[in-house]
């Protein structure tokens, strides 16, 4: 029997949302707070455009997903970055 005090799937905050499983950390860059989640790339099926270098992140490539931690923004504000590009940002 499911526990009554668990959140419904549609009530999960962005910090946990589709990227569920933990592992995100909070970082500050350029005076703004961000959630950063490292991804191994093992399950990525498509390429993403890195906003740092404007080059593709190939499928199956380890990278990070970054989104605002200040509550301003939503799922559409997540960005996939090369780990190295995010470190230089």
The domain limits of the chain are: 23-88
Q: What is the mean pLDDT of the chain?
A: 81
Residue 11 has pLDDT above 60, yes or no: no
Distance of CA 30 to the CA centre of its chain: 18
- Burial (0-12, 13-18, 19+ Cβ within 10 Å), 63: buried
pLDDT score for 85: 97
CA dihedral 46, 17, 37, 28 (to 10 degrees): 130
Tokens of 30: 């350029």
What's this model's pTM, rounded to 2 decimal places? 0.71
Q: What is the pLDDT of residues 44-87, one digit of tens each?
A: 899 999 999 999 999 999 999 999 998 777 778 999 999 999 99
pLDDT value for 23? 85
DSSP line for the chain: ---TTSPPGGG--TTTSTT-SS--EEEEETTEEEEEEEE-STT--S-EE-TTTS-EE-TT--EEEEEESSS---GGG-EEE-HHHHHH-
């Amino acid at each position: 029997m499911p526990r009554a005090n668990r959140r419904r799937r549609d009530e999960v905050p962005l910090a946990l949302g589709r990227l569920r499983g933990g592992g995100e950390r909070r970082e500050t860059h350029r005076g703004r707070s961000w959630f950063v989640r490292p991804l191994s790339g093992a399950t990525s099926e498509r390429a993403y455009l890195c906003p740092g270098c404007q080059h593709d992140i190939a499928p199956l490539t380890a990278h990070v997903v970054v989104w605002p931690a200040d509550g301003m923004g939503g799922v559409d504000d997540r960005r996939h970055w090369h780990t190295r590009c995010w470190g230089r940002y």
